[in-house]
């Protein structure tokens, strides 16, 4: 993979028949949001959903872009953090959309990270049985993962993302400049999802990340290239299996363990999604090694890279209260990939060789979790 020294506009198509859309990636794109929205829904209105932190940094620029394109718009601001993916915030948002009398052809615009995108997308999917929706992701995690593919939803006390709908956006606008204000912790957390694409089926990309991680974290062309490669990978998987009937589940590498950890720590607690996914991916590699699928050196290589960029890779690195194996197993049992009571895990035969496993016995997973807490 080569790195350009410029970041021109790049368009990645997501091919889904009459629900197809483009991901626009480039520097300074927020300023074009108004024109793009006006082109999408001439004469339409917009509601921008964002959180308190993003509102301070980027909302004025987006509202100015909408105003100059003559798109009437109002903003709806939610608290920052995972706890916002709740029935209470969904109800508040739905009420605001209906109070504003937005029509089905008006647009809900998600300006923010995964939390904002998932909540706003869910509202767009259910109000008037489906409104227009646009994603303007402002975190690395949202730019490389959650803004693409149409998964929307909220968390419940039973687990992560358990209530939601598939609802594709009309376009995704990725302004790479917005990452300049992203705190390092969230840049790292988003990087976990970038690594995931290498681990699923692209060992060359993983090798490139090992060599180029410092340049990616420095921002600039290498970061833009990592975003583009991630979006291409995700668009390819989603186009082949929009509703996760098959191989889309590979995008869940690290998520069955990760989601259980997030729920165990508590939403808004001391573990953000990408951090939990990093631990979950390392665990998936270790379990794969234990089961004889994956060379031990590959699991070690994954751990080494996650640690090298400052991500956690070990269950013992999460708060002790979230490490109870029985509780983790009970949370995993709520995973959406469960079939007839049996867990589905994404395991691996090595870096870039992940596969869907339906037949790992519950007692094997329970023993593995016991071992992991004692590592
Ligand atoms: O888009 C997908 O499909 C994914 O699984 C991507 C995940 O990284 C993302 O976190 C997704 O929201 C998880 O979905 P879930 O269905 O496992 O809750």
Per-residue pLDDT tens for 160-201? Answer: 999 999 999 999 999 999 999 999 999 999 999 999 999 999
Domains and CATH numbers, the chain: 10-182 (3.40.50.1970), 185-373 (1.20.1090.10)
Q: Is 370 annotated as a binding residue?
A: no
Phi first, then psi, for residue 356 (nearest 5°) are -95, 125
- Whole-number Å distance, alpha carbon 151 to ligand 1 midpoint, is 7
Is 138 labeled as ligand-binding?
yes
Instruction: Tell me how far the alpha carbon of residue 99 lies from the centroid of ligand 1, in angstroms.
Output: 31
CA of 256 to the centre of ligand 1 (A): 10
* pLDDT beneath 70: ranges in the chain: 1-8
Annotated catalytic, 358? Answer: no
Looking from the CA of residue 237, the nearest atom of ligand 1 is: 3
Find the 155 Cα to ligand 1 centroid distance in Å.
Answer: 13
| Tokens 């259910």 -> residue | 126
Separation between Cα atoms, residue 262 and residue 318, nearest integer Å? 10
Residue of 334, 358, 341 lying closest to 161 (CA atoms): 334
The pLDDT value given to residue 8: 62
Q: What is the pLDDT of residue 6?
A: 46
Q: Would you call 148 helix, strand, or coil by DSSP?
A: coil
| Residues near ligand 1 (Cβ within 6 A) | 145-146, 149, 151, 160-161, 193, 244, 248, 251-252, 255, 336
- Cα distances from 373 to residues 41, 192, 273, 323, 333, in angstroms, run 52, 22, 20, 6, 19
Atom of ligand 1 nearest to the CA of 162: 18
Mutate which of 121, 137, 145 to test ligand 1's pocket (most atoms within 8 Å of Cβ)?
A: 145
Give the model's pLDDT for residue 270: 87
Does 336 count as an annotated binding residue? Answer: no
Distance CA 152, CA 124 (A): 9
Q: Is 273 a catalytic residue?
A: yes
ipTM: 0.98
- Please identify which of the residues 252, 305, 323, 336 carries the catalytic annotation: 252
Return the number of other C-beta atoms located less than 10 Å from residue 349's C-beta: 14
């Amino acid at each position: 993979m080569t790195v350009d020294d410029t970041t021109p506009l790049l368009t990645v198509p997501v091919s889904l028949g009459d629900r197809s859309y483009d991901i626009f990636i480039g520097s300074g794109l927020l300023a074009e949001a108004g024109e793009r929205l006006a082109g999408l829904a001439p004469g339409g209105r917009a509601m921008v959903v964002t959180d308190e932190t993003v509102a301070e940094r980027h909302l004025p620029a987006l509202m100015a872009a909408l105003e100059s394109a003559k798109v009437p718009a109002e903003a709806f601001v939610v608290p920052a953090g995972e706890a916002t993916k709740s029935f209470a915030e969904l109800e508040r948002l739905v009420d605001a959309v209906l109070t504003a009398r937005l029509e089905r052809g008006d647009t809900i615009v998600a300006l923010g990270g995964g939390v904002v995108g998932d909540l706003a997308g869910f509202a767009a999917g259910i109000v008037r049985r489906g409104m227009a929706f646009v994603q303007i992701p402002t975190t690395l995690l949202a730019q490389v993962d959650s803004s693409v593919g149409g998964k929307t939803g909220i968390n419940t006390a039973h687990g992560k993302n358990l209530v939601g709908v598939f609802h594709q956006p009309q376009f995704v606008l990725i302004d790479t400049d917005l990452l300049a204000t992203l705190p390092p912790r969230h840049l790292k957390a988003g990087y976990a999802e970038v690594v995931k694409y290498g681990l699923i089926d692209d060992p060359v990309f993983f090798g490139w990340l090992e060599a180029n991680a410092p340049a990616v974290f420095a921002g600039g062309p290498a970061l833009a290239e990592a975003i583009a490669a991630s979006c291409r990978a995700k668009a390819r998987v989603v186009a082949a299996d929009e509703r996760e009937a098959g191989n889309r589940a590979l995008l869940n590498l690290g998520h069955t363990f990760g989601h259980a950890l997030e729920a165990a720590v508590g939403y808004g607690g001391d573990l953000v999604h990408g951090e939990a996914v990093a631990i979950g991916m390392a665990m998936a590699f270790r379990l794969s090694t234990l089961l004889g699928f994956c060379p031990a050196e590959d699991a070690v290589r994954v751990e080494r890279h996650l640690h090298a960029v400052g991500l956690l890779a070990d269950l013992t690195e999460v708060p002790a209260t979230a490490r109870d194996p029985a509780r983790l197993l009970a949370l995993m049992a709520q995973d959406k990939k469960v079939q007839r009571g049996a867990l589905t895990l994404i395991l691996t035969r090595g870096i870039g060789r992940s596969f869907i496993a339906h037949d790992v016995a519950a007692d094997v997973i329970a023993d593995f979790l016991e071992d992991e807490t004692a590592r």
